[in-house]
Chain A
Amino acid sequence: MTLNTKLSCRNVWKLYGANAEGFLSRNPSPSGEDIRRAGIIGAVRNARIDIAEGEIFIIMGLSGSGKSTLVRCLSRLIEPTGGQVLFDGVDLLTASEQELIEIRRHKMGMVFQHFALLPHLTVLQNVMFPLTVQAAPRAEAEAKAREVVELVGLKGREDYYPRELSGGQQQRVGIARSLVTEPDLWFLDEPFSALDPLIRREMQDEFLRLQARLHKTIVFITHDFEESVRLADRIAIMKDGEIIQVATPEELVLNPATGYVAEFTRHIPRSKVLTVGGIMTAGSGGEGEPVPAAARVSEVAEQIIAADAPRPVCDAAGRIVGSIGRMAVARVLFGKETAA
C-alpha cells in the first residue's frame, strides 16, 4: 500500500431543509443543536476523510447514519451543501457537468445494493453499457466485456437476462459492469447486503480475490461490522451524519473512541481482529520459529498455545520485534474485553 492520497474530502456537509446553503454560509461549522433549531436535517456533518491509493476503506454505520449520502457526495451523485471532495487533487465539486461525465466514464465505478441492472439488457449488454455510452467501438467493447464477465466467473451466461440469474450472480454482473471501464476508484454501496449469508461470504472472498489482482482504491459501504472487519484496511464509523472514528479494525477494537463504537466491537470475536503485533510483549525473547506481527491471532493461536515457551514475533522485514506467549493468546480467546 502506497501512501498517496487518492480521494479526500474536507469539511463535507449535506444538509436538507429550506435554504440549507444560506444557513451553512452564515455558520460554517454549526453544532447539532444549531442544525436542529434551524429545522434542518444534517445527513452528513463535517466529514473529513483521506483515502489512500489501493486501500479498502469501509464506511460503516447503521441505517440512517448518512453513509449512503456520504458516498453519494463523494461521487457527487448528491450535491454536497458545502466542502471539498478532492479526487487526485482535483475538486470534484467545482467540476463542470462535462468534466464530471468524463471522470465518471473513465475513473469511477460503482456497485449497488440491489444490483441496479437494466432489466431489458442481457448480461453482456449490461456489462457493456458503460462502454456503449462512451461510444466505444463495438467489437472492442464486447471483447472487454467478455473479459470481465469471465473475471467474475459468469462465462457462459452472457446472453441471460438479469431476472434469470440468482441474487449472487446478479451482483457479479453488477461488479463486472463497474469494472469494465477499468476505474481507479471503486465505490461499493452495501454490495452484499441483499444476499443470503452463505452467498455473502462467498462474494466477500471473491471480492478479496479480485482486489488482490486489481489493486483498486475502494470505498465500501456496509452496515455489517463483521464484514467491515473482514475486508477493511481502515474503517470509518458513522452515526447521525458524523464520522465518529476512522481507524484500522484492530485500533477500533483496542481503542474505541466512544461507547457507541465499543458497542459494535463487543460482539466481534477478538481473535479475528487483533494481530499478533497488537498484543505481543515488545522487546526480544521467545524461542522457535518467529510469528509474523501482522498475522491475526486466530490464525496462529493454535501453534502458540501448543508451544511450551513464548514465540518470537517478527515484522514484515523479518526483524524480531517482540514475543508472544500462551497467556496473551488465551486472554484474547477467552478473556476480558480489554484484552491488551
Chain B
Amino acid sequence: MRPRLTNSGLAAWGLVLATILLGWFGRDLAKALDARWLVKVPSSWDFAFNTYISAAMTWLVEEAAIGPVSFTDATRAIAWLIEQPYELALNLLARGFLFDPGPEPQVLLPAASWIAVTAAVIALGHYCRSWGLAALVGACFAYLAVFGQWDSAMVTLASVLIAVPIGAGGGLLAGIWAYRHPLGERILSPVLDLMQTIPIFAYLVPILFMFGFGPVSALVATIIYATPPMIRITILALKAVDPEILDFGRMAGTTQRQLMWRVLVPSASQSLMVGVNQVIMLTLNMVIIASMIGAGGLGFDVLAALRRLDIGAGFEAGIAIVVLAIAVDRLSQAFAERIGQVHHTAPGSWAARNKRTVLVLSLLAVTWVLGRFSPLLLDYPQSQTITTGAFWNDTVKYLNVNYFDAFEAVKVFFLHWFLLPIKKTLLGIPWPWAIAMLTLLGWRAGGWKLAAMCGAMSALIAVSGLWAKAMVTVYLCGASVILATLIGVPLGVLAALNRRAGIAINLLIDTLQTLPSFVYLIPVVMLFRVGDFTAMIAIVLYALAPAVRYAAHGMRSVSGELIEAGLVSGCTKWQLLRLVRLPMALPEILLGINQTIMLALSMLVITALVGTRDLGQEVYIALTKADTGRGLVAGLAIAFIAIIADRLVNAGARGARIRFGLESRA
C-alpha cells in the first residue's frame, strides 16, 4: 500500500526538505547575502526581560505588601511553618536535640540510634506486608550504615518525611476543593497542565530569591514539584467513586463535610495511596536538584562529587539515594496495598495490639540511655564502614587506560555522524523561517489557536536573546529523543509481543525509573567524560521509560478482533505488525514520545553539570549567581519549548485517534 501523495502532502514534504537545506546551508547563505541577522537574532532587538523580571522580583521582596503584611512577611511565615517540623525531624534523625545552639552546643538528646531507626523500618515492613519486605528494607538501611552514608541519608530522609505529608496533604485538599467546586477545577486544571510541562528549574530561581538558600527553599521546591500529581489523582479518584456510594452518603443524611471525609475519601483511599506513592517518588527525584538550592544530605554529596568529578564518592552517594528510594517506595506501596485489604483488629490491650511500636519505642529509649556509655549504639562506627569509592575510581582508570580507544571511537562516531549534523542544521535555520514553520505546523495540527501560541512563544524566545541556546537545547533533546524512540519503541513492541522479553524489559524499565535521574550521569561521565555525548546518553537512559511503556501499552490495547480480522485475511506476522498493530498503536506511541520529550527537557539542568551549553546551563549559572531575571527567562524559554512540543505532539496524537475512530471529534 503506497500512501498517495496529495498536493498538501507534497507541500509538507517540500517544506521539511527546504527547512533542512536551509539549516544546512543557512550560515553560508547568510554570509553570501551579507545578512547575519538571518541566523543570529541581532542583539539590539533583545528585549531585556531579565532586567525587568529582576526588578519586579526585587520590588516583590523589598516593597510589595497587602496592608501591613509585606510579601516578605508572608514568605517568612511559610518558611517558619515548614521549618518547625523539619527541624524536629532533622533533630530526631540526624542532628540530635541541641541545648543552647551557640558556638559550642550541648547535645541534650542525641539523634535516634541507627539501630532503632533500622528496627523501626523493619517493623514497618513486617506490619505492611511480610518478613520478606522487612528483610529488604532492613538490608537497605543496613547498607546505608555500613557504607558510611548514614548521616547524609538521614538528612535526606528527614526532608522526605516533611515534604511528603505536606505534598500529599496539600494535594488532597486542593483536589477536594477542585472536586467540590467547578470553579476550582477550572482554575487548577490549566495550572496543573502547565506544571506538568514546565521543568522544575524554571521556578528554582524565584524560590531561591524568595526563601533564600537553605533547606526550606529546597523543601518548597520539592513540594511544588511533587504535589501536582497528587491533586490530579485526588480529583480522578473522587470522581471515580461509585455514584451509588455518593447517593447512599447523601441519603444517609450526611453533611457536606461528613460526605467528603467519611464516605468519599475512605472509599477512594486505595487510589489516593497511589498518589502518595507518586509524591514520594517525585520527592526522591528532586533530592539532587533541591541540593542546588540548599538541601543537604545525599543529594548534596552527589552534587559536590560531580563538581569535583570524584567518581567514586558520587557513585556511592548516588547508589545510597537509590537504596533509600527503593526502601521508601516498597514500603509505601505495601502500605497502600494493606489499606485495600481486610484486617480484623486483634483483641487485647493497646500494648498487646501494638507490639511492634512498643518494641521500637523501647529500643529507642534503651539505645538513648546506653548510648551514653557506648557510642556504638548511637552511631555506626566510622572504622567499620566500607567504601567502594577507590574501587570505582580504579575501575574507571582501568577502563580508560585499556579501552580508551574503543570508547573514543563510539563517541566520535556519534558526534560526527549524528550529533554535529543535527546541531549544525538547527543552528543554521534562519529564525524567522523557524518561527514561520512552527506557526504553520501549529495551524496544521490544531487550528489557529495552536498556531498563534506556537508563533508567539517561539518569537518570545527569539527576542529574549536566547535563540542560539534554545536551539542547542532543542538539538540536545531532539537527538536524545530520536535515539530514545529508536531504542524504546522497538523494545516496547517486543515487550508486548513476547511474554518472556516483556518480563525482562519491564524489570529493566522499573529499575531505570526507580533510579533518580542524575545517577545515570555518573557512570557515563566516568567513561566518556564531560560533553554533549555524555549528556545525550544520560538523557536517553532517563527518558527511555515512557517510550517503552506507552509503546507496549499501545500494542497490547489493540483490539483482539482487529488482530483476528488481520489473521483471517491472511496477514503474515510482519504484515500484521506493520499494517494493523503499529498504526493502531500510533496514538499511544506518540503520547509516549511526548512524555519522553518532557523527561528529556527536565534532565537539562542536570546535564548542565557536565558542561552542555544550552538553556539548562543558563539556569544553572543563574542559580549560582542568584540572578532571578536570567534564571526565570531561561526557565520560561525551556517551558515554552516544552509547551510547544507537548501541544503539537498531543494534537498529532489526537488527530490520529480521531482518524482511527478511537475518539470522537468533540
Which A residues fall within an 8 A CB radius of B?
A: 72, 75, 77, 101-106, 108-110, 112-116, 118-121, 129-130, 132-134, 159, 161, 163-164, 187
Q: Is the CB of B266 within 8 A of A116?
A: no
A193 to chain B, nearest CB (A): 12
Q: Is the CB of A77 within 8 A of B250?
A: yes
Partner of A118 from the list B245, B253, B255, B258 (CB cut-off 8 Å) is: B245
Nearest CB in chain A to that of B254: its residue: A133
Which residues of the partner chain A approach B344 to less than 8 Å between Cβ atoms? 159
A173 to chain B, nearest CB (A): 12
Nearest CB in chain B to that of A72: its residue: B247
Which B residues fall within an 8 A CB radius of A?
A: 242, 244-245, 247-248, 250-255, 258, 262-263, 266-267, 269, 342, 344
| Complex CA–CA separation, A104 to B252 (angstroms) | 6
B168 to chain A, nearest CB (A): 18
Q: Is the CB of A110 within 8 A of B247?
A: yes
| Complex CA–CA separation, A121 to B345 (angstroms) | 12
| Complex CA–CA separation, A121 to B253 (angstroms) | 18
Which residues of the partner chain B approach A120 to less than 8 Å between Cβ atoms? 266-267, 269
Q: Is the CB of A114 within 8 A of B251?
A: no
A-B CB contact pairs (8 Å), 9 listed: A101-B254, A104-B251, A112-B244, A112-B247, A114-B242, A114-B244, A116-B242, A120-B269, A129-B262
Which residues of the partner chain A approach B247 to less than 8 Å between Cβ atoms? 72, 77, 110, 112, 116
Q: Is the CB of A101 within 8 A of B248?
A: no
Interface centre among A72, A120, A159, A187 (most CB of B within 10 A): A120
Q: Is the CB of B245 within 8 A of A134?
A: no
Partner of A105 from the list B244, B252, B269 (CB cut-off 8 Å) is: B252
Which residues of the partner chain A approach B248 to less than 8 Å between Cβ atoms? 110, 112, 116
Q: Is the CB of A113 within 8 A of B244?
A: yes
Which residues of the partner chain B approach A132 to less than 8 Å between Cβ atoms? 262
| Complex CA–CA separation, A120 to B261 (angstroms) | 12
Q: Is the CB of A164 within 8 A of B342?
A: yes
Q: Is the CB of A133 within 8 A of B244?
A: no
Which residues of the partner chain A approach B269 to less than 8 Å between Cβ atoms? 120
Nearest CB in chain B to that of A105: its residue: B253
Nearest CB in chain A to that of B344: its residue: A159
The 5 closest A-B CB pairs, nearest first, are A105-B253, A104-B253, A116-B244, A116-B248, A130-B252
Which residues of the partner chain B approach A159 to less than 8 Å between Cβ atoms? 344
Which residues of the partner chain B approach A72 to less than 8 Å between Cβ atoms? 247
Q: Is the CB of A116 within 8 A of B245?
A: yes
Contact status of A75 and B267, CB under 8 A, knowing A116-B242, A133-B262, A164-B342: no
Nearest CB in chain B to that of A180: its residue: B252
Which residues of the partner chain A approach B250 to less than 8 Å between Cβ atoms? 77, 104
Q: Is the CB of A133 within 8 A of B266?
A: no
| Complex CA–CA separation, A301 to B152 (angstroms) | 89
Given contacts A109-B251, A121-B266, A163-B342, 12 further A-B contacts (CB under 8 A): A77-B250, A101-B253, A101-B254, A104-B253, A105-B253, A110-B248, A113-B244, A118-B263, A118-B267, A129-B252, A133-B252, A134-B253
| Complex CA–CA separation, A129 to B249 (angstroms) | 9
Q: Is the CB of B266 within 8 A of A118?
A: yes
Which residues of the partner chain B approach A105 to less than 8 Å between Cβ atoms? 252-253
| Complex CA–CA separation, A77 to B266 (angstroms) | 21
Q: Is the CB of B251 within 8 A of A119?
A: no
| Complex CA–CA separation, A108 to B254 (angstroms) | 13
| Complex CA–CA separation, A12 to B416 (angstroms) | 77
| Complex CA–CA separation, A92 to B305 (angstroms) | 71
| Complex CA–CA separation, A114 to B263 (angstroms) | 16
| Complex CA–CA separation, A115 to B242 (angstroms) | 10
Which residues of the partner chain A approach B253 to less than 8 Å between Cβ atoms? 101-106, 130, 133-134
A178 to chain B, nearest CB (A): 8
A228 to chain B, nearest CB (A): 21
Q: Is the CB of B251 within 8 A of A133?
A: no
| Complex CA–CA separation, A164 to B258 (angstroms) | 26
Partner of A77 from the list B251, B267, B342 (CB cut-off 8 Å) is: B251
Q: Is the CB of B254 within 8 A of A161?
A: no
Q: Is the CB of A119 within 8 A of B267?
A: yes
| Complex CA–CA separation, A103 to B245 (angstroms) | 19
Nearest CB in chain B to that of A161: its residue: B342
| Complex CA–CA separation, A129 to B248 (angstroms) | 11
Which residues of the partner chain B approach A164 to less than 8 Å between Cβ atoms? 342
| Complex CA–CA separation, A216 to B558 (angstroms) | 52
Which residues of the partner chain B approach A104 to less than 8 Å between Cβ atoms? 250-253
| Complex CA–CA separation, A121 to B267 (angstroms) | 10
Which residues of the partner chain B approach A106 to less than 8 Å between Cβ atoms? 253
Which residues of the partner chain A approach B242 to less than 8 Å between Cβ atoms? 114, 116
Nearest CB in chain A to that of B245: its residue: A116
Which residues of the partner chain A approach B266 to less than 8 Å between Cβ atoms? 118-121
A166 to chain B, nearest CB (A): 15
Nearest CB in chain B to that of A183: its residue: B251
Contact status of A101 and B342, CB under 8 A, knowing A114-B244, A116-B245, A118-B245: no
| Complex CA–CA separation, A106 to B253 (angstroms) | 8
Nearest CB in chain A to that of B247: its residue: A77
A20 to chain B, nearest CB (A): 17
B501 to chain A, nearest CB (A): 36
Which residues of the partner chain B approach A119 to less than 8 Å between Cβ atoms? 266-267
B544 to chain A, nearest CB (A): 38
| Complex CA–CA separation, A110 to B253 (angstroms) | 11
B175 to chain A, nearest CB (A): 19
B265 to chain A, nearest CB (A): 10
Interface centre among B244, B247, B253, B258 (most CB of A within 10 A): B253
| Complex CA–CA separation, A187 to B255 (angstroms) | 20
| Complex CA–CA separation, A128 to B393 (angstroms) | 66
